[in-house]
Amino acid sequence: MTRRLSFLSLAAILAATTVFVLQAGPASAAGSKVLLVTRNETGNGPPAATGEPAHITNFVKWEALGTICGVADEGAKVGKNPAGTVKVSGSDSPIEMGCFNLGKGEPAGGSITIKTLSVSKTGTVMLHGRIEVETEGCHYFATKLTGTQKFGENEQFFDALSGTAKLVKKGSLLTCAPTTPVVDEAAAADSAGFNYVVELTS
């Protein structure tokens, strides 16, 4: 059964469980295309319509900084569906994230700008945009995160994307590390909040 998860419930689940990065399935045939399928309480429905409203939920972990941030880009839209690489376009504008530090210290602040969240027929998932965080005098940013995706009837478009964030030297303390790892638990969902299912079709 598919459940609609609010950001707070998603955050609680992810914070309490170990994150496993999905492994890509077997290489697809050359003519295969990626298909996003609408999913609701009754199960898998029709393919998502090209251009339909969507949103991208983000649960960002800066483990080395002890900081967690989250927000949903509710201005997203589904790209060509089906396609060799399906792109869910974000609003491409900065959105302030709610952040908190796991330990003691001054409050953290962050933002995210999503250009696209895409999945190719090889299972490669990429998020392009800009993710920023500022805490304890250190300001970091990342512009691309990657991960993998399984395909199938019940495989939702939900993935652990990872990358390396760079230090914004202007305004950061000299004691800040030049880079820091970042992970984004990203999910693409329809306007009702149900994650899309990702399939391959010929």
Q: How far is CA 87 from the centre of its chain?
A: 12
Residue 142 class from Cβ within 10 Å (0-12 exposed, 13-18 middle, 19+ buried)?
Answer: buried
What pLDDT is attached to residue 171? 85
Average pLDDT, the chain: 86
Query: Quick check: pTM over 0.75?
Result: yes
Distance CA 183, CA 202 (A): 32
Are the C-beta atoms of 54 and 78 separated by less than 8 Å? yes
Low-confidence ranges of the chain (pLDDT < 50): 1-29
Structure tokens at 17: 């469980």
List, in sequence order, every residue forming a beta bridge with 61; answer none if it has no partner: 68, 183
Structure tokens at 142: 């990342």
Structure tokens at 35: 């298909």
Q: What is the pLDDT of residues 43-57, one digit of tens each?
A: 888 999 999 999 999
